[in-house]
A = this chain, B = another copy of it.
Amino acid sequence: MTEPDALTELRERLREFAAERDWVQFHSPKNLAIALSVEAAELLVHFQWVTEEASQRLPAGQMVQVREELADVLLYLVRLADRLGVDLVAAANDKIEVNARKYPSGEVRGSSRKYTER
């Protein structure tokens, strides 16, 4: 017997959570996509005035909040994907393949084209 994947478990917990509270009515993909975007911005708040270097070593108190915001992003992402019937892990692995073809390591190494050109 295989153990369920961590994301599958999260998906199930979120389904129950919404059902128990009669919140499914609010969870249209449109609303969940808004919520996801809002949570991503709440995460970004913690980085807005720090330098890139300082962003690597945030104070412990702030890291507690950052960890919560990362969790919120994942929760809305899993819930939105569920409502849309998308397998997140399969989609992510497919996207890595696409990116690997788009940015072959032999060609972009050093030049970092993606990051310096638009």
* Interfacial residues, chain A to chain B (CB-CB below 8 A): 5-7, 10, 13-14, 17, 20-23, 25-26, 28-31, 33-53, 55-56, 58, 62-63, 65-68, 70-75, 77-78, 80-81, 83-84, 86, 88-89, 91-96, 98-100, 103, 105, 108-110, 112, 114-116, 118
A88, B52: Cα distance in complex, Å: 22
Measured CB to CB, the closest approach of chain B to A98, in angstroms, equals: 8
Q: Which residues of B have CB within 8 Å of A52? A: 28, 30-31, 51-52
Chain A binding site: helix, strand, loop or mixed by DSSP? helix
Number of copies: 4
Measured CB to CB, the closest approach of chain B to A96, in angstroms, equals: 6
